[in-house]
Amino acid sequence: MSVGNAEGQNDLQHSEVRRSRRDRKCEACWATIGRGHLYVREVTVFWGDIGVTNRCGRCEAIVRHLVEVLPQGTAIDPNLMCGHDYEDEEAIGRSPPPEIAALAFVTPAEATTLLVADYEKQRQARARKIWRHVP
Ligand SMILES: [Zn+2]
């Protein structure tokens, strides 16, 4: 699990679901994100330093879960490499729920399906933005 404290929060954070044009590695679990698969690109700015992290759907689901269960303002390592164990985290103190534990067995092809709804939502929002500017 990857947590920090509120003092380690980013100055800016933006994430977007993208479709990969080439094979790349998830920077949290190092699984291959295949060409055509969806992934999350997260850009952060922390004390002026820019960081870019690419995550597969599985790791993104874990990050989103951590955002839900940890106290608001808890910083989460974008690479999920803080070295903490889920059960040992004081704010959680129990085993992960079955749907999160099951993510360990998700294949890369299944991981991309976890992001389809967000990808479609982004595409529709972009289309609405474009159409607003058409006279
Ligand atoms: Zn991953």
Q: How far is CA 69 from the centre of its chain?
A: 15
CA distances, 50 to each of 39, 42, 45, 109 (Å): 19, 10, 5, 30
Whether residue 1 is contained in a domain is answered as no
Q: Could you give the number of structural domains in the chain?
A: 1
Range with lowest mean pLDDT among 9-13, 82-86, 118-122: 9-13
Whether residue 99 is contained in a domain is answered as yes
Distance 64 CA to ligand 1 centre (A): 13
For residue 112, what are its two tokens?
């991309």
Written as one letter, the residue type at 112 is T
Whether residue 12 is contained in a domain is answered as yes
What is d(CA 116, CA 89) in angstroms, rounded to the nearest whole number?
A: 30
Position 9 scores a pLDDT of: 66
What is d(CA 47, CA 130) in angstroms, rounded to the nearest whole number?
A: 33
Whether residue 98 is contained in a domain is answered as yes
Place 19 in a pLDDT band, splitting at 50, 70 and 90. very high
pLDDT 10s digits, 25-49: 999 999 999 999 999 999 988 888 8
Q: What's the predicted TM-score (pTM) here? A: 0.83
Q: Which residues have C-beta under 5 Å from ligand 1, the single-atom ion?
A: 26, 28-29, 56, 59
Distance 31 CA to ligand 1 centre (A): 6
Whether residue 73 is contained in a domain is answered as yes
- Domain of residue 121: give its range: 6-132
Contacts of 119 by beta carbon, 8 Å cutoff, 6+ apart: 17, 19, 38
Position 73 scores a pLDDT of: 79
pLDDT 10s digits, 113-133: 999 999 999 999 988 888 787
Provide the 8-state DSSP code for 56. -
